[in-house]
Amino acid sequence: MALVSEFLGQLTLNLGPASEPKYPSVVPVVDFDSDKDAARIETAIKTKGVDEQTIIDILTKRSYAQRREIAFAYERRAKKDMISALKGALSGSLESVILGLMKSTSQFDATEIRASIKGLGTDEETLIEMVCSRSNEELVDIRRVYKDLFKKELEKDVAGDTSGQFAKLLLALVQTKRDDPSSVVDYEKIDMDARALYEAGVKRKGTDVATWISIMTERSVPHLQKVFERYKSYSPYDMKESICKEVKGDLEKSFLTLVECLENKQLYFANRLNDAMKAKGAKEKVLTRIMVSRCEVDLVKIRSEFKKLSGKSLHQTITEHTKGDYQKVLLGLCGGDD
């Protein structure tokens, strides 16, 4: 018996906290040959006027691990760095996407956060999207990579560049205090949290933001989904309407993003993609960021939310709203039509 329980103990240990399931549109290619890919990219870069199509075809159809292998193989044969060579050969939006693909998802996310806070002013929209939409697991990786890349603490940078309750909310998220999902549904706690959210906001004069922050950043995602449902039995307004009534500005935007992502993260990204493409002067930065950062995470699920939301597939919408090599590279990341 002792042996069996030891074995079971070990099993539990090895499983660790459950990772979120993945729905990537960009997956490893079978029969991978890094030398062959590197040779084709070398030729494409050397071609007069650059053969962008080949670069797109290869790099959007390999996993990050494979793209890295290709970069090593390229460096061995060409005696120079593939990323610098790509920078020299490409330009504009295509260049941004391809260089983004040469980073791992957490390196890319860390770099986007860094770019949103460094220098004069802060790009709050980007910062909110990055911090409020990422899972605990993703934020743990981002924090580690951020320190590796920039020799700075993510918490300090985020808190140093924002202020007030907005800073407190972002900081609490970056500190990854959220519980892992539990197999037991605690109805009593769901009810208590729902009532606490109501009493801290709609029910009282002013808002007890600290209570909102602690509940929304420390409880597990499935627990909060049930809390927001239960919330409606206390409050005449749902959680998102309550946020709009109670708080303003960046704090309002952050809470809204957070609640949307807790309820259905892929729907949030589908909405962002839809808005970015339909906005006057398409917001290429948002489009690039979401396509690059989610293609190896959950873009297939985002695609199905997108279709439900807009009636058109993401593939078709990209075709209608972008053009040239940028369109080709986005379609490569998008994968199939739905």
CB 295 within 8 A of CB 26: yes
User: Which of 154/202 has CB closer to Ca ion?
Assistant: 202
Q: Cβ of residue 218: shortest distance to Ca ion, in angstroms?
A: 21
Q: What is the binding site for Ca ion (CB under 5 A)?
A: 207
Q: Cβ of residue 72: shortest distance to Ca ion, in angstroms?
A: 57
Q: Cβ of residue 191: shortest distance to Ca ion, in angstroms?
A: 20
User: Which of 207/322 has CB closer to Ca ion?
Assistant: 207
Q: How far is CA 233 from CA 34, 206, 226, 263, in A?
A: 58, 21, 12, 17
The count of other CB atoms within 10 Å of the CB of residue 51 is 17
Q: Cβ of residue 234: shortest distance to Ca ion, in angstroms?
A: 13
Cα Rg, the chain, nearest whole Å: 22
DSSP state of 311: S
User: Which of 113/202 has CB closer to Ca ion?
Assistant: 202
Q: Cβ of residue 241: shortest distance to Ca ion, in angstroms?
A: 12
User: Which of 21/206 has CB closer to Ca ion?
Assistant: 206
Q: How far is CA 172 from CA 114, 194, 302, in A?
A: 18, 20, 26
Q: Cβ of residue 1: shortest distance to Ca ion, in angstroms?
A: 57
* Short-list 80, 37, 83, 31, CA closest to 57: 37
Please name the residue that has the structure tokens 């071609």: 47
Centroid of chain to Cα 248: 24
Q: Cβ of residue 132: shortest distance to Ca ion, in angstroms?
A: 22
The Cα–Cα gap between 236 and 288 comes to 39
Q: Cβ of residue 224: shortest distance to Ca ion, in angstroms?
A: 20
Q: Cβ of residue 208: shortest distance to Ca ion, in angstroms?
A: 8
User: Which of 34/207 has CB closer to Ca ion?
Assistant: 207
User: Which of 25/207 has CB closer to Ca ion?
Assistant: 207
User: Which of 199/263 has CB closer to Ca ion?
Assistant: 199
User: Which of 98/239 has CB closer to Ca ion?
Assistant: 239
Q: CA angle 318-323-326, nearest 5°?
A: 85
Q: CA angle 218-258-238, nearest 5°?
A: 100
The Cα–Cα gap between 247 and 166 comes to 10
Q: Which long-range contacts (CB under 8 A, 24 or more apart) does 146-155 make?
A: 146/110, 146/113, 146/114, 149/107, 149/110, 149/111, 149/114, 150/110, 150/114, 154/110, 154/113
User: Which of 136/207 has CB closer to Ca ion?
Assistant: 207
Q: Where do runs of H (alpha helix) occur along the chain?
A: 2-15, 34-46, 52-59, 64-78, 82-89, 92-101, 105-117, 124-133, 136-150, 154-161, 164-174, 187-200, 209-218, 221-231, 239-246, 249-278, 284-294, 299-310, 314-321, 324-334
